[in-house]
Amino acid sequence: MKKLLYIALALSINSIYAQNIRNNPNSNHGNKFEQLGTILPDANTYRTASGAPGHQYWQQRADYKIDVELNENDYTISGTEYVTYYNNSPDELLYLWFQLDENEHDPKSDNNSFDGSTMRSKTINEGDLAAYDRAKMLEGYGVQIFEVADQKGKAVPYTINQTMMRVDLPTPLKPKQKVIIKIRWKYQMPERMRIGGRGGRECFADGSCIFTVTQWFPRLCVYSDYQGWNNKQFTGRGEFALTFGNYEVKMTVPADHIIAATGECQNYKEVLTVEQYQRYLKAKNSDEPIEIVTREEALKSVANKNTTEKKTWHYKANNVRDFAWGSSRKFVWDAMRVNIEGKNIMAMSYYGEEAYALYRKYSTKTVAHTLRVYSKFTIPYPYPVAISVEASNGMEYPMIAFNYGRTEKDGTYSDRTKYGMISVIIHEVGHNFFPMIINSDERQWSWMDEGLNTFCQFLAEQEFDNNYPSSRGPAHKIVDYMRMPADQQEPIMTNSENIIQFGNNAYGKPATALNILRETIMGRELFDYAFKEYARRWAFKHPTPADFFRTMEDASGIDLDWFWRGWFFDIEPVDISLDSVKVFRFEKGKPVPEKLDTISYKPRKEDTFKHISMIRNKEEGIEFYVDKDTSLRDYYYYNDQRYDTSSVTEIRSKKVTTLSDEEMKNYENLYAYELHFSNKGGLVMPIIIEWTYEDGTKEIERINAYIWRKNENNVSKVFLKNKKVIGILIDPYKETADIDESNNSFPKVVSENRIELYKRSGRVARGQSTGGNPMQRARNNQ
């Protein structure tokens, strides 16, 4: 609740100053470079002003022992849990808050009614009915609570408020004390593809289902120093915040099911056949995926479907914030080891026949690749396993993620499906780091997990293949969004529930902003150190946005308050315009005006474009994951020769009037180029200039964003050159997300970007959702 006030305050401050500038065209100085000051919460003994946990930092702990049964005949989950809650806070607690996420599907839940709708005139379909009368569709869903009791079995009073349950403790829980609560519950698993939801069942024509059992047991809310209890309701959107703890879970399922779950199985010898167990031991020492449950075995299980016998799988997981599992007789299971800084981790995949041809080939190897790259940029992966389960939508939990990736019926697939799947696996497995380990609060701040994770996903994709078709990360990919009218945008610092363009706001824009920080503002060395420091400081803890902003500055020595203001607290786009160019030549100690001769200038063709991360990864000698199967020639064309940055020279200007004749000789015949820029977009950024000389060579100069600090609207700057310039291009690698490239060059180059093409073809570009296809939509909601 306190947080909400803080966003409101932050937004009002920002909109006031934004308005001041916009309403007063004569103002040349807003506060784009002022320190964040009171926009960030005060530092205290729990969280320092440097962005690290303070000397009295504390967090709660919740350990769970759960027995659960999946009944395939009526699709129900019923369980009993004992949760031990440790009060490490300095506060006395009278009650505990639990999350009952499946009550999102309770017909009485508010979230069935708070989306607006309009009547459609076409023949009514199920989707329309779901919008008009969702409660009817949800009859029979929601969580039934049978018992809440203390350790001795004595009933404890509780109150259910939609997806939240308050348990009133028999006696106040004092600091350093713990309490054990028993809860018995049951719910019907939703048909995930029809009514939505993070978990549920998906049943196939072969008569068997894949069960994704997620957000399935009453889970403790986070009680923290910065917001007390986070008992903000679950609506299906804002994911969740959870407390770390140890889990012991026993899952009873039909005997022919295979289970994938958070943690390590304690009784493989009992639940697997002798052959399967042998293959499991073999996979533990294999650098290639080995099928532990083979395709033939899975197909046989489906054919002989047996729902009467049961088996119990016993799992343990330590220091995790949640526990999820998948169960099906359809599962093929393969695994291999991956070495992360001296420790062997099991990378594993579980999938049905529908995904076999893709998953068998790529899933487990992608899991391993993800762990390697993320570990390099954050902390070494600390858990013993990492799992990818094929399910039709993507969602992440500790050590286990559910990701789509199905082939056509004949087992073939397009490059689009293949790379879509690899990206989703990297993304969902990557969530192990953000927010499963670096445990931010997703229900408040989607960008802290989705944005940071999408940024690391981009890094992992770019190390998978130097030509990888990343859809989020490169600056130019966010331009269509940044160009949208103001009423279709909101700052990244917006609560998850209120975001309109979810994929762009919570995934694309923050990922891009971080990539720009790394490549353009801070440089790789300073950025990578600071980012790793953030991960190190907050691993297995609960960071807030301020902790991230502060750490990035604290560890790099770069004042980034202007960057956070522009990219995270505001919605203004980048549009730096090169308005005019004046040319002079020094003759006998005097600058003489000259005409800029651009006749022989040849602007670069669009199809030779290669973004900055690709270029630098290649220069750095990154060892890419090698995929020999498919070429990506369709996506990018290369011309390495065009981007020769080796000829960078630096000439500093001096006061001409004080020079002696002897000194003046050094300047004789030099050219002086006076460039006039205006900031049309509002968002301040560095000015990156590519000079093309008469002799065909090029030079890149980078001017720090601080050039705008005294006048945020207009700046001009003189550059001395000893060669004649024939062309000037601003932001040649498209690093700054400049929304209008038509004013970036001299002479003017007519470039037709996508939006302009749309406009010409009469289509409405502004305001259209990016989720045009199901794959994209699925990706937008991971």
CA dihedral over 188, 189, 191, 192, signed as positive or negative: positive
- Spacing of C-alpha 240 from chain mean position: 15
The smaller minimum CB distance to Zn ion, of residues 235 and 692, is found at 235
Shortest separation between residue 189's beta carbon and Zn ion, angstroms: 22
Please tell me the distance from the alpha carbon of residue 331 to that of residue 293, in angstroms, as a whole number.
Answer: 8
Contact residues for 633 (Cβ-Cβ < 8 A; gap 6+): none
CA angle 442, 45, 556 (to 5 degrees): 70
Cβ-contact 688, 736 below 8 angstroms: yes
- Cα 708 to Cα 21, 685, 705, distances in angstroms: 14, 8, 6
Shortest separation between residue 322's beta carbon and Zn ion, angstroms: 14
Shortest separation between residue 394's beta carbon and Zn ion, angstroms: 7
Concatenating the DSSP letter of every residue in 748-762 gives ------HHHHHHHTT
The smaller minimum CB distance to Zn ion, of residues 79 and 451, is found at 451
The smaller minimum CB distance to Zn ion, of residues 262 and 744, is found at 262
Shortest separation between residue 396's beta carbon and Zn ion, angstroms: 6
Shortest separation between residue 615's beta carbon and Zn ion, angstroms: 28
Cβ-contact 534, 552 below 8 angstroms: yes
Shortest separation between residue 473's beta carbon and Zn ion, angstroms: 14
User: CA 173, 174, 176, 180: dihedral to nearest 10 degrees?
Assistant: -10
The smaller minimum CB distance to Zn ion, of residues 230 and 446, is found at 446
Among 81, 260, 51, CA closest to 183: 81
The smaller minimum CB distance to Zn ion, of residues 454 and 556, is found at 454
Shortest separation between residue 425's beta carbon and Zn ion, angstroms: 12
Shortest separation between residue 149's beta carbon and Zn ion, angstroms: 36
Shortest separation between residue 454's beta carbon and Zn ion, angstroms: 7
The smaller minimum CB distance to Zn ion, of residues 450 and 461, is found at 450
- Find the DSSP H helices in 588-740: 612-620, 661-664
Please tell me the distance from the alpha carbon of residue 334 to that of residue 55, in angstroms, as a whole number.
Answer: 44
Shortest separation between residue 271's beta carbon and Zn ion, angstroms: 31
Shortest separation between residue 503's beta carbon and Zn ion, angstroms: 10
Q: How many other CB atoms sit within 10 Å of the CB of residue 409? A: 7
- Cα 767 to Cα 474, 501, 629, 755, 781, distances in angstroms: 21, 9, 38, 11, 19
The smaller minimum CB distance to Zn ion, of residues 259 and 401, is found at 401
The smaller minimum CB distance to Zn ion, of residues 208 and 453, is found at 453
The smaller minimum CB distance to Zn ion, of residues 258 and 424, is found at 424
Q: Distance from first CA to last CA of the chain, Å, rounded?
A: 25
3-class SS of residue 156:
coil
Shortest separation between residue 204's beta carbon and Zn ion, angstroms: 26
DSSP secondary-structure letter at 541? B
Q: Which residue has the tokens 């050159």?
A: 721
Please tell me the distance from the alpha carbon of residue 286 to that of residue 601, in angstroms, as a whole number.
Answer: 57
Q: Which residue has the tokens 């060669």?
A: 723
Please tell me the distance from the alpha carbon of residue 518 to that of residue 525, in angstroms, as a whole number.
Answer: 8
Shortest separation between residue 345's beta carbon and Zn ion, angstroms: 21
The smaller minimum CB distance to Zn ion, of residues 227 and 781, is found at 781
- Find the DSSP H helices in 202-329: 268-271, 274-283, 295-303
Please tell me the distance from the alpha carbon of residue 385 to that of residue 315, in angstroms, as a whole number.
Answer: 12
Shortest separation between residue 624's beta carbon and Zn ion, angstroms: 24
The smaller minimum CB distance to Zn ion, of residues 402 and 677, is found at 402
Residue nearest to Zn ion (CB): 782
The smaller minimum CB distance to Zn ion, of residues 439 and 782, is found at 782
Cβ-contact 567, 451 below 8 angstroms: no
Please tell me the distance from the alpha carbon of residue 483 to that of residue 475, in angstroms, as a whole number.
Answer: 13
The smaller minimum CB distance to Zn ion, of residues 403 and 489, is found at 403
Q: Which stretches does DSSP call E strand in 255-404?
A: 258-261, 264-265, 290-293, 310-320, 325-328, 332-340, 343-351, 385-390, 395-397, 400-403
The smaller minimum CB distance to Zn ion, of residues 218 and 451, is found at 451
Shortest separation between residue 703's beta carbon and Zn ion, angstroms: 35
Please tell me the distance from the alpha carbon of residue 236 to that of residue 158, in angstroms, as a whole number.
Answer: 23
Biggest CA-to-CA distance, the chain: 101
On the 0-12 / 13-18 / 19+ scale of CB atoms within 10 A, 616 is middle
Among 484, 477, 483, 485, CA closest to 508: 477
Please tell me the distance from the alpha carbon of residue 260 to that of residue 350, in angstroms, as a whole number.
Answer: 7
Shortest separation between residue 446's beta carbon and Zn ion, angstroms: 9
The smaller minimum CB distance to Zn ion, of residues 230 and 782, is found at 782
Contact residues for 98 (Cβ-Cβ < 8 A; gap 6+): 164, 165, 166, 167, 183, 218, 219, 220, 221
The smaller minimum CB distance to Zn ion, of residues 507 and 673, is found at 507
Residues in contact with Zn ion by CB under 5 A are: 450, 782
Among 435, 457, 456, 450, CA closest to 538: 435
DSSP secondary-structure letter at 432? I
The smaller minimum CB distance to Zn ion, of residues 81 and 450, is found at 450
The smaller minimum CB distance to Zn ion, of residues 452 and 705, is found at 452
Shortest separation between residue 389's beta carbon and Zn ion, angstroms: 15
Q: Which residue has the tokens 């049943």?
A: 203
3-class SS of residue 405:
coil
Shortest separation between residue 449's beta carbon and Zn ion, angstroms: 7
